[in-house]
Amino acid sequence: MALTGCSTGGSSENADAKPGKATAGSERPESGRDMPPVADGKPASAGELQPLLLSAGDLGANYTQKPAQDESSKKHDDVAISGCPALDKLGASSNYLKFATKVTADFTYDFSSDLSEELHSDSPRKLSATFRAVDKAYGSCPTYTMTAGSTPVQIGVSKVTPPKLGDEQFGYLLTMSFPGKTIVAKQFVVRQGNKALLLSGSPGLVEKNLKTAYDKLAAKQ
């Protein structure tokens, strides 16, 4: 997952797997960040977000949900970014990239491709400002290096046009080059009021299931 915390977690697709429509996206207009001021509001609780996550039943046949992970056990202190001052600055501002509430769900499809969903909640103003800042940083750094421990990962980011859902939308195609292999992943971000949906993983799975994830989120607005 590339947006919150610049971690190597989340879902991605091995380059040997079929990338679906990975190259179908086009460049996102810069004007997507130039929006009117966003109204403020209170964040939702984890108890309110949890029922809005996707389940294997929502996705259909051949999807298996992975066991839930303890977010507090994840450590990102050994993650460093070079070649992108804007992202490095955001990553150093750990409080800036954290939202009030977060819940996650992870899936595999046919035991070969991955799909990861994160739901975040905070004030609409906080969510909007953060996602716009990261989007601007990505626009300034189409390539950069992320080092997790002692392993350098070369990352290429292309903005893609997401479906027009919610109040704001962002989309990215990421190519991550590890020693000996390359992974391709797509990520869509949709903000709806005081909630935000991040869907990441195999490009084809992300494209196929974004509307399902958004409809479940928006049903309780």
Break the chain into its structural domains and give their ranges.
13-32+40-218
CA distance 107 to 111: 9
Number of Cβ atoms within 10 Å of the Cβ of 210: 21
Band of the pLDDT at 9, cuts 50, 70, 90?
Answer: very low
Q: pLDDT by residue (tens digit) across 152-195?
A: 999 999 999 999 999 999 999 999 998 889 999 999 999 999 99
CA distance 218 to 196: 10
Number of Cβ atoms within 10 Å of the Cβ of 160: 22
Rounded to two decimals, the pTM is 0.80
Topology of the domain covering 13-32+40-218: Protein Transport Mog1p; Chain A (3.40.1000)
CA distance 178 to 78: 17
Q: pLDDT by residue (tens digit) across 130-139?
A: 999 999 999 9
Classify the phi-psi angles of 12: left when phi > 0, otherwise alpha if psi is within -120 to 50, otherwise beta. Answer: beta
Band of the pLDDT at 14, cuts 50, 70, 90?
Answer: very low
Region 76-80: mean pLDDT is 68
Helix spans in the chain (H): 46-49, 56-59, 85-92, 124-140, 203-218
Report the pLDDT value the prediction gives residue 1, as an integer from 0 to 100: 43
What letter does residue 122 receive in the DSSP assignment? S
